[in-house]
Structure 1
Amino acid sequence: MDYISTRGKIEPVGFVDAVLMGLADDGGLLVPKQIPQLSPDTLHAWQQLSYPELALELFSLYIDGEIPRDDLKKLVDDSYGTFRDDEVTPVRRVSNSLHILELFHGPTFAFKDIALQFLGNLYSYISQKHNSTIHILGATSGDTGASAIEGVRGKEGIRICILHPHGKVSKVQELQMTTVDDANVLNLAVDGNFDDCQRIIKELFADVAFKQRYHLRAINSINIARILAQTVYYFYAYFQLAKQGQGEKVNFSVPTGNFGDIFAGYMAKRMGLPIHKLILATNENNILERFVTEGVYQPGEFRGTHSPSMDIQVASNFERYLYYLNGEDAGTVSALMSDFKRDGRIVIAGEALKQVQTDFEAYGVQNDECLSTISSYYSDYSYLLDPHTACGVAAAQRYTADDEVTVALSTAHPAKFDEAIQLINIKQTAPSQIQALSGKPQFQTRVAGTNEAVAEQLLAFF
């Protein structure tokens, strides 16, 4: 399996090189040269697989023998053996039409564990097999950082630096990152918002000489391995419903800020998974909703919300979707991204916009609606949603009919966002692992939101 850039200016690379490259050296994002196509017979046969067995089959399609199957199986088993639920991502029925796909049973109680436990183990495997230096650089709006650190902390041959926006993540998210005192972990609290952190990361990776000199590797969803790992739970959830005779008109409602989680669903659909609707849920930072409804992709005013992991204006995975929307024409994508860099906006219309609206429904959930959704589902169904999941559920309510079944992706345990839950007078008991964070010393360095300030820290650390 070859991987190519959305901007078309690099030679095709294999899976391991794609993982190590992270951001393509031409500034684009890596995608598989061909998306594997799955027959109905294959989908039917896979219904009986466990989550790790399903992950092994799907990863094998994209790795194509580059990692021996026995080695890959061990990577998968080690990655998902850390989860608290035997199903890894169980599907919970809440009502006749709504199911919740619980993606928070990993070590840090967030959906990012599903991809980052695997990617952390994969980086360790590559480091050992290829005698490679792995210096991981990533940015987080809250959950990625803790998951990435948990995936590689203490591992030989790997160092990790994570940027987070100072004061703009939940207290639990901050504690999960900054109470880690391993020598191979550096936390930088950046003055600014997540978009500033993400911009710094992408610009440092775009400096190819700097990236190669310091062996920088990506942990964010610009890394194609993240997306591939996230496709698995769409298949798994669909299969659980299909086994119950609910395989017709299954929708997925996905809270997303960086477009990675819903792009994984889009990839699953292109592979042949018969998804009915992909519903894109955002919050008041609703650039993606405006793109779907109006065809205009343009950052607006940053808003702090009760769902801070989606407080994102510039979605790093959006370029991958543009590539497929424009018929896999790298030249068009390159021109569009140049226009975006110059003008700060991308506008599409006509048949292209109709295609977007065929691919997605979209809804931006306001703060009050987010809280009222949490309150009503706790009252009516005794099910406590975290604020991000609540956005997904609110969007599902808006766009699904009574005869349709919707799976809303639950991206985090509600205990990670108790500040919001307390606003509606709901008391919860946090898991013991989260309770244990309180009072621990924190290790972080506050820096200005500039490339130079971050690079200075990296040079001292790496």
Structure 2
Amino acid sequence: MQYVSTRSGHAQPSTPQQFSDILLGGLAPDGGLYLPEQYPQVSGAELDAWRKLSYADLAFEVLKKFATDIPDADLKALTHQTYRAEVYCNARAGEHAAQITPLRVLEASNAKGESCRLILQALSNGPTLAFKDMAMQLLGNLFEYTLAKQHAELNIFGATSGDTGSAAEYAMRGKLGIRVFMLSPHKKMSAFQTAQMFSLQDPNIFNIAIEGVFDDCQDMVKAVSNDLDFKARQKIGTVNSINWARVVAQVVYYFRGYLAATSSNDQKVSFTVPSGNFGNICAGHIARMMGLPIDKLVAATNENDVLDEFFRTGVYRVRKSAETYHTSSPSMDISKASNFERFIFDLLGRDSERVRALFHKVETAGGFDLSGQPGSDGDEFAKVAQYGFRSGKSTHQGRLDTIRDVQDEYGITIDTHTADGIKVARDYLTPGVPMIVLETALAAKFNETILEALGTDAERPAGFEDIEALPQRFVVMAADIAKVKDFIAERTGL
């Protein structure tokens, strides 16, 4: 299995890479994102065999199709090291910890009153109580494995809108040869999210609060990734979802959700995914391209509805920092979806030169238009439905109403982002096609909104009772890439 860049075409060719070659990096040298030359296919016989597997063994079977240069024995050891009940065993998980991503069936009806199945897939049983742990725990083990083989070090430079940062830091803390420099928007995460990151005192963890929004942080990560000299000199890697290994690790739980929700391979399911940066739902797109019987992939946004606008109109229009809302589902307060380029690459028939031109237009003109209307950049929007994509958006009031409804109907307290997902999913329920909503985090991480919705605090797993009271270690900086680079260089000595 070899990988190519979304921007590497006839005018700017690059050499295909193997999984281990791209594991530690982010963007390709040409500024594009890596994808396999072709998606591996999964047969019906394989799906049947996979129904009986543990999560760790399922992860091995999926990942070995992509990481063909890692010996099977080593890869299997890594998936078993990662996906253990001991790792995914917070108090909420309880007896279901061994399932890693257990399903909870919510009986529901669509707008016509027809009986449908709405299913919640729990992805937040890991050490930081968010779905990011599903990929990040594996990434930490993969990084350590690869660095040991190369006798090398790595300085991870990332950005977070809330959950990526803590998941990365908990996965990398104490790892040999690894430092983490994590950017986050100053005072724009929940109190729990902030404390979970900033309370870490490990000497290899550095938290930098940027005076701006998440997109400012993300832009700086891309700027460093495109500065090939600095990147090489400082041995920079990334854990953001532009990193291919992050995305492919998330493909696994789509297979798990499908296999757990169905009894035969002639049945389809749909997934609704709370989405801001398009990484999580991009993994669903990849699973579908591999042959997983997915009917719809529904992107649920909050008020920052860049993705919803595209899937409704064909217009991709990024917002400036001043136009990006600070909402009660802050991890999706994103107006520039980094992983969207991977889907556009497939939508355009893998025409990398057009992809490069369109995303150059994003940087210079703020977006592109594939609606096919006069003056647009193309007419590919007509093909979007063939890939199963639909979308919808939620607002603060919608989140409050959905949190109350799910608590009253099912006795489950959901977080704000999952509430966005459930609200939008209800618009796409179809009889005979289970709708799986991917949970994003435990409600305790967004207690301010839970208290507003329910009048009571969200339950906290043991060990997190007073996390906001812990001492915090971080620095506040302007959105100045030169100052951030200086900060990194001073602490690496390189």
**What TM-score bracket applies, with the shorter chain setting the length?**
over 0.9
2:318 to 272, 276, 299: 299
- Please name the residue that 1:208 is paired with: 228
Deviation at 1:429, TM superposition (A): 2.1
Deviation at 1:459, TM superposition (A): 1.0
- Please name the residue that 2:202 is paired with: 182
Amino acid in structure 2 at the alignment position of 1:343: A
- Which 5+ residue runs of structure 2 have no aligned equivalent? 90-96, 108-115, 373-378
Answer whether contact 1:25 1:206 (CA < 8 A) is retained.
yes
- Please name the residue that 1:275 is paired with: 294
**Counterparts of 2:337 and 2:356 in 1: how far apart (Å)?**
16
Deviation at 1:311, TM superposition (A): 0.4
Deviation track 1:182-221 (CA, whole Å, cap 9, x = no partner) reads: 1111000010010000001101111111101100001000
Answer whether contact 1:280 1:363 (CA < 8 A) is retained.
yes
Deviation at 1:433, TM superposition (A): 2.3
Answer whether contact 2:359 2:367 (CA < 8 A) is retained.
no
Deviation at 1:299, TM superposition (A): 1.9
Answer whether contact 2:269 2:294 (CA < 8 A) is retained.
yes
2:99 to 75, 87, 97: 87
Deviation at 1:247, TM superposition (A): 6.3
**Counterparts of 1:324 and 1:456 in 2: how far apart (Å)?**
38
**Counterparts of 1:110 and 1:214 in 2: how far apart (Å)?**
30
- Please name the residue that 1:21 is paired with: 25
**Counterparts of 2:259 and 2:159 in 1: how far apart (Å)?**
33
- Please name the residue that 1:457 is paired with: 487
**Counterparts of 1:67 and 1:121 in 2: how far apart (Å)?**
13
- Please name the residue that 2:427 is paired with: 398
Amino acid in structure 1 at the alignment position of 2:462: S
2:118 to 98, 114, 117: 98
1:447 pairs with 2:477: yes
1:152 pairs with 2:164: no
Answer whether contact 2:191 2:468 (CA < 8 A) is retained.
no
Deviation at 1:403, TM superposition (A): 3.6
- Please name the residue that 1:4 is paired with: 4
1:191 pairs with 2:221: no
Closer, same or farther: CA 70–47 of 1 in aligned 2, 3 Å: same
Amino acid in structure 1 at the alignment position of 2:80: D
Paired positions, count: 460
Deviation at 1:398, TM superposition (A): 1.0
- Please name the residue that 1:68 is paired with: 71
Give the 3-state SS of the residue equivalent to 1:35 in structure 2. coil
Deviation track 1:68-112 (CA, whole Å, cap 9, x = no partner) reads: 112111211111121111111111112251110000000100000
Amino acid in structure 2 at the alignment position of 1:3: Y
Answer whether contact 1:138 1:218 (CA < 8 A) is retained.
yes
2:268 to 245, 249, 256: 249
Give the 3-state SS of the residue equivalent to 1:17 in structure 2. helix
Closer, same or farther: CA 37–246 of 1 in aligned 2, 3 Å: closer
Q: For residues 406-445 of structure 1, what are the structure 2 equivalents within 5 Å?
A: 406-424=435-453, 425-445=455-475
Deviation track 1:379-410 (CA, whole Å, cap 9, x = no partner) reads: 11111111000111011101222443110000
- Please name the residue that 2:110 is paired with: none
Amino acid in structure 2 at the alignment position of 1:44: D
1:230 to 231, 247, 250: 250
Tell which deviates more after alignment, 402-411 or 143-152.
402-411
Answer whether contact 1:293 1:357 (CA < 8 A) is retained.
no
Deviation at 1:143, TM superposition (A): 0.3
Give the 3-state SS of the residue equivalent to 2:447 in structure 1. helix
- Please name the residue that 2:146 is paired with: 126
- Which 5+ residue runs of structure 1 have no aligned equivalent? none
- Please name the residue that 2:43 is paired with: 39
- Please name the residue that 1:348 is paired with: 370
**Counterparts of 1:434 and 1:420 in 2: how far apart (Å)?**
18
**Counterparts of 1:153 and 1:427 in 2: how far apart (Å)?**
30
**Counterparts of 1:388 and 1:418 in 2: how far apart (Å)?**
12
**Counterparts of 1:402 and 1:14 in 2: how far apart (Å)?**
42
**Counterparts of 1:18 and 1:51 in 2: how far apart (Å)?**
25
Deviation track 1:23-50 (CA, whole Å, cap 9, x = no partner) reads: 1011000111111011111111111111
Give the 3-state SS of the residue equivalent to 1:235 in structure 2. helix
Give the 3-state SS of the residue equivalent to 1:86 in structure 2. helix
Amino acid in structure 1 at the alignment position of 2:307: L
- Please name the residue that 1:140 is paired with: 160
Tell which deviates more after alignment, 74-83 or 284-293.
74-83
Give the 3-state SS of the residue equivalent to 1:297 in structure 2. strand
**Counterparts of 1:361 and 1:322 in 2: how far apart (Å)?**
15
**Counterparts of 2:145 and 2:265 in 1: how far apart (Å)?**
39
Normalising by structure 2, we get a TM-score of 0.91
Give the 3-state SS of the residue equivalent to 1:446 in structure 2. strand
Tell which deviates more after alignment, 246-255 or 74-83.
246-255
**Counterparts of 2:139 and 2:316 in 1: how far apart (Å)?**
30
Give the 3-state SS of the residue equivalent to 2:98 in structure 1. coil
Deviation at 1:246, TM superposition (A): 9.3
- Please name the residue that 2:333 is paired with: 311
Give the 3-state SS of the residue equivalent to 2:99 in structure 1. coil
Answer whether contact 2:118 2:429 (CA < 8 A) is retained.
no
Give the 3-state SS of the residue equivalent to 2:467 in structure 1. coil
Question: Which runs of at least 4 in structure 1 moved beyond 3 Å after TM superposition?
Answer: none
Deviation track 1:276-299 (CA, whole Å, cap 9, x = no partner) reads: 111110000000000010111112
**Counterparts of 2:99 and 2:210 in 1: how far apart (Å)?**
37
Amino acid in structure 2 at the alignment position of 1:4: V
- Please name the residue that 1:218 is paired with: 238
Answer whether contact 2:127 2:170 (CA < 8 A) is retained.
yes
**Counterparts of 2:129 and 2:435 in 1: how far apart (Å)?**
23
Give the 3-state SS of the residue equivalent to 2:463 in structure 1. helix
Tell which deviates more after alignment, 139-148 or 354-363.
354-363
Amino acid in structure 2 at the alignment position of 1:457: F
**Counterparts of 1:254 and 1:180 in 2: how far apart (Å)?**
29
- Please name the residue that 1:363 is paired with: 392
**Counterparts of 2:290 and 2:102 in 1: how far apart (Å)?**
22
Tell which deviates more after alignment, 341-350 or 205-214.
341-350
